[in-house]
Structure formats: C-alpha cells, structure tokens
Amino acid sequence: MKILGIETSCDETAVAVVEDGHRLLGNALATSIDLHVKYGGVVPEIAARSHIEVILPVINQVLTEAKSGWDDIDGIAVTYGAGLAGSLLIGVMTARTLAIAHQKPLYGINHVEGHVYTNFLTDTPLPGFKLRASQPEFPMLAIIVSGGHSQLALFRDHSDYTILGRTQDDAIGEAFDKVAKMLGLPYPGGPSIAKTAENGDPTSVKLPKARMNKYDFSFSGLKTAVLRQAQALIGKSYDFPSTKLSERLSDVQKADIAASFQRVAVETIVDKAKQAFDEFSPKSVVIAGGVAANQELRRQLAEAIPLPIDYPDPKLCTDNGAMIAALGCFKAQLNQPTADPYSLEIQPNLSM
Ligand code: KG4
Ligand code: ZN
C-alpha cells in the first residue's frame, strides 16, 4: 500500500510517498521561508503563489525518488485543514485533480493529527534520516507543539483519540516567534531563541507560569511578561515600544531573556504532560510539531516522564508530506471513508 501525501497548509510545499504506514520511499519539500523572512512572518499571498509554482515539480521529484509511477500509487492523502486558506487550496485542488485524473482514492487529512504520524515512520531507503526504531504503542499520549497548535491528546487507537487540553491563546511556537521578534532575532523564532538561550541564565529573569484548568495551557501572559521584563531591564516603562527593545538590550540581556522564556514555556507543556502521564499511564509518549526539535523540551521531558521517548527525525518535526502520507496509509488500511475528489473543501479552522 503506497500513499502519496501532499502538505501545503503554510509555507512549505511538501510531498512524500509512504508505504504501509512505516516506510518512507520519497520525500521532498520546497519552502518559501526565505521570501517571508524580511516580513518577520509568513505572508499568506506569497506562500500561496509559491505553492502554485512548485507543487507539480515537487510531486514529480518525489515519484522519481520513490521509484514509483502513478500505477504504483494506491491513494492520495492531502491536508485540508487547519492552515492558511490560500495555501490549503493549492494542495487540495492539486490532490483532487490528480485523484480524478489517475482514478485514485483521496483522503482528507487533519494537519495536526498528521503531525503525530511522523512517529509511525520506522524505515527508509533514503539517506540522511534518523527514524524511530519502532512504532509507538497505544494508548499513546501525544504532545503536539507547533507554530499553530499546542495540545495534549490521548490516542486509544488510530482515529480514536481525546483532546485532553489545548492552548487557550497563542501556540507555543507562536510565542517563540513573537519573543524572538521582540529580541530582534530572526524568524523562525524557535531555533533562534534556542541558540541565543545557550549563552543565557534560564533563572535570571522572573516570569510567571499561567495557571489554567486541568490540561489547558496559555502563552499570551508569558509573552506580555517577557515584554514587561525587557522594558524594565533597560529602565523603561510599559509604554516603551516593543519594536525598539532589541536596539537597547545587550547581548547578555537578550540571552538571559531567551533562556528564561524558553525554560518557562517548556515547563508549561512538560508540567501538563507529566500530569497526563500520571493520570492515564500511556504505553507510549510521542511528540510532534516544529517545537519537538527543541533540546530544552527534550531535556525536561526526559526528567519528568519515566518512559524513554523516541524522537522523530528533526526534518520530520516541522511540516512535511511524510506525516500526511503515513496517516493516509492507516486510513486506507482501516478502510476509512474516502473524500469526494469533486467536492473536498478546505477547512482553514479545522480542529482535532
Ligand atoms: O509544526 P511547524 O513546522 O508548523 C506548524 O504547523 O505550526 O512548527 C513551526 C514552529 C515555529 O513556531 C518555530 O519557531 C518552532 O516550530 N520551532 C522551534 C524550534 N524549531 C522550530 N521552537 C523551539 N525550538 C526549536 N528548536
Ligand atoms: Zn505543522
């Protein structure tokens, strides 16, 4: 069973072929991130235009890499939400057209659920991937930490899950991106905060942790607290503009703020994950989304959770086609309903 997965929910045009839900046969990605850097974030119109330009070459590249023709492909899986409307449209219209033209079943994939399925990839003939040794077992606690989503989900089986908690405002990756902007660090903020934090003292700047219900989180208060502390560090009051902060802060102050913010943001997630682990005793804990690459998160989780956590390859933590194809394989294997290629609509606000 070979599924072609297409992911275009944000600025990455990503395509992959996955066999039987575990073997990665082809994987390619074109990103328009360089075009967005000067704006400090993704510009939706630019992202959509880039998808149009590259999607067909990327699909052809993946088919060649997977040594597959359309006759070898058993189905097409595509992200239909959540994401930027213009970006999603390009992936979905392409997948619909290909499904009709090549008469393949079509599977609509929820982007966030897709992220979790990176953890089911265990082998590949492709060079440069460090995949997990085995697939996770159910019940599985999934910690989903990306630029658009932060949630904890308990999977009893494929497609059978409960969302335990989610962010009530910003996603954790978004908080990294916004704090990076405040400190004048380049986009995307996650890697640049992590790098700057290496030289800082994570306990030097006092920051609050939001108190939320049960398994929910919040990051907007933390972001505001970072702003207030940064203003205080340069001797200014709350009306000093955030856009001028980075010129006044020293490198040491930036490193201390980055390290303290990173510690508290990560603790916010890890505290809840530990609480869920203790309550539900899952057989496996998986982590998904761009922030899974964060080393401080991995360090804190190793301390808090008494199960070894097998991390996916960092290249597959951010948006990719492989996670979409992998989930598509399980949907196909479990005979789940297919999407109508004449009518599958995008759902920009789709939740899990
Ligand atoms: O999953 P993803 O590629 O996109 C969404 O679906 O949202 O996640 C991107 C997010 C960005 O906010 C980026 O700053 C963050 O992941 N990120 C990191 C790291 N690498 C990427 N955050 C913290 N530490 C990192 N090393
Ligand atoms: Zn994502």
Q: Is the pLDDT of residue 253 over 80?
A: yes
Please give the Cα distance from 48 to 170 (Å, whole number): 23
By CB neighbour count within 10 A (0-12 exposed, 13-18 middle, 19+ buried), where does 58 fall?
Answer: buried
Average pLDDT over residues 199-207: 97
Give tens-digit pLDDT for 98-135.
999 999 999 999 999 999 999 999 999 999 999 999 99
Average pLDDT over residues 322-346: 98
Range scoring the smallest mean pLDDT among 146-150, 210-214, 276-280: 210-214
For ligand 1, residues with CB inside 6 Å are 10, 146-148, 173-174, 176-177, 188-191, 194, 289-291, 293-294, 318-319
Q: Report pLDDT for 42.
A: 80
Please give the Cα distance from 261 to 278 (Å, whole number): 26
Å from CA of 193 to ligand 1 middle:
11
- Continuous segment of H or E residues that includes residue 166: strand 160-166
Residue nearest to atom 14 of ligand 1 (CA): 190
Give tens-digit pLDDT for 221-249.
999 999 999 999 999 999 999 999 999 99
How does 303-322 read in b/e, with b if 16+ C-beta sit within 10 Å? ebbeeebbbbbeebbbbbbb
Determine the atom of ligand 1 nearest the C-alpha atom of 111: 6
In this structure, are residues 300 and 275 in contact, taking their beta carbons and an 8 Å threshold? Answer: no
In 95-149, which ranges are E strands? 106-110, 140-145
Average pLDDT over residues 159-164: 96
Average pLDDT over residues 86-91: 97
How does 246-262 read in b/e, with b if 16+ C-beta sit within 10 Å? eeebeeebbbbbbbbbb
Chain-centre distance for alpha carbon 16: 16
List residues, by chain if needed, whose CB lies under 5 Å from ion ligand 2: 146, 319
Which distant-in-sequence residues (6+ apart) come within 8 Å of 197 by Cβ? 255, 258, 259, 261, 262, 296
Residue nearest to atom 7 of ligand 1 (CA): 147
Å from CA of 148 to ligand 1 middle:
9
Q: 12: closest CA among 156, 115, 108?
A: 115
